[in-house]
Amino acid sequence: MIAIQTEDVDIGKMITAAKQRGTGAIVVFDGIVRDDDIREMELEAYEEVALPELEKIASDAKKTCNLLSVDIIHRIGCLAVGENILVIVVGAGHREQAYEGSRFIIEAIKAGVPIWKKELRKDGDRWVPGEHKHGCRAGK
Amino acid sequence: MTVRIRFFARFRELLGTDIVVDAQKNKGLSDLVKDVAGKNKEGYDAIFDEKGIFREYVILMQNGKRVETSDAPAIRVADGDEIAVFPPVAGG
């Protein structure tokens, strides 16, 4: 399943569902709201674009890393410290493929999927800065 | 013709979102965003530099497809277009 949602997920159920004939390894990435002296974190997405991009990343990862299954749940809305932000469950025949696939997916999400995080801090709110790989070409 | 402009994250806080604009035919994408962003100085300054050029970190989309900001002055918007303007992404 690939989804952007406010609700939390049952990671145990995701792992169970990912097991299939031929599965030899499952890698779970769970991105969590870290206690960086914040009260909460707000997540926002351009859902009409972000969801198809997540689906494409999953498809690319399957082909590139020879994965058997990919599930990605990215949460939006207001999350407390300790809550799940992003859960990626990757199934493969062998651990090398599963680790590689998981890394492929998280790096691709961070590089380009239109989702933003805002830290609601005790000393003032702050948008988490993204990487500046986009925008206009240098010098133009 | 009508064009929908959507700002996200910090730009949304400064300029709002889901703004429907009654644009002139052959309006340039860059000029369209300037017109809308010009209603709030802080929002305008977050997106454009002092020469009116998109800041390096700004990301533009036209109907869900990325557009180079340096190409935006020459791109014409069409009736029903959706333009998205946002800062670098930070998901995950």
Q: Name the band, by pLDDT with cuts 50, 70 and 90, for residue A138.
A: very low
Q: Is residue A132 part of a domain?
A: no
Q: Is residue A95 part of a domain?
A: yes
Per the structure, the complete domain to which residue A75 belongs is given by 2-125
Q: Is residue A42 part of a domain?
A: yes
pLDDT 10s digits, A32-74: 999 988 999 999 999 999 999 999 999 999 999 999 999 999 9
Closest to A75 in 3D by CA, of A122, A102, A37, A115: A115
Chain A CB contacts of B12 under 8 Å are 44
Q: Is residue A140 part of a domain?
A: no
DSSP letter assigned to residue A86: E
Chain A CB contacts of B70 under 8 Å are 136-137, 140
Q: Is residue A59 part of a domain?
A: yes
| Contact residues, chain A to chain B, C-beta under 8 Å | 31, 43-46, 48-50, 52, 74, 85-86, 106, 109-118, 127-138, 140
User: Quick check: B57 contacting A, CB < 8 Å?
Assistant: yes
Query: Of 3.10.20.30, 3.20.20.70, 3.40.1160.10, 1.10.10.10, which CATH number belongs to B2-86?
Result: 3.10.20.30
Closest to A119 in 3D by CA, of A43, A19, A21, A25: A43
Q: What is the ipTM of this complex?
A: 0.93
DSSP E strands in chain B: the ranges are 2-7, 19-22, 59-62, 65-67, 82-86
CA angle B49, B53, B54 (to 5 degrees): 85
Q: Is residue A134 part of a domain?
A: no
Q: Is residue A135 part of a domain?
A: no
Radius of gyration of chain A (CA): 16
Q: Is residue A130 part of a domain?
A: no
How many domains are contained in chain A? 1
CATH code of A38's domain: 3.90.1170.40
Q: Is the dihedral of CA B28, B29, B30, B31 positive or negative?
A: positive
pLDDT 10s digits, A63-114: 999 999 999 999 999 999 999 999 999 999 999 999 999 999 999 999 999 9
- Contact at CB, B64 and A48, closer than 8 angstroms: yes
- Contact at CB, B9 and A127, closer than 8 angstroms: yes
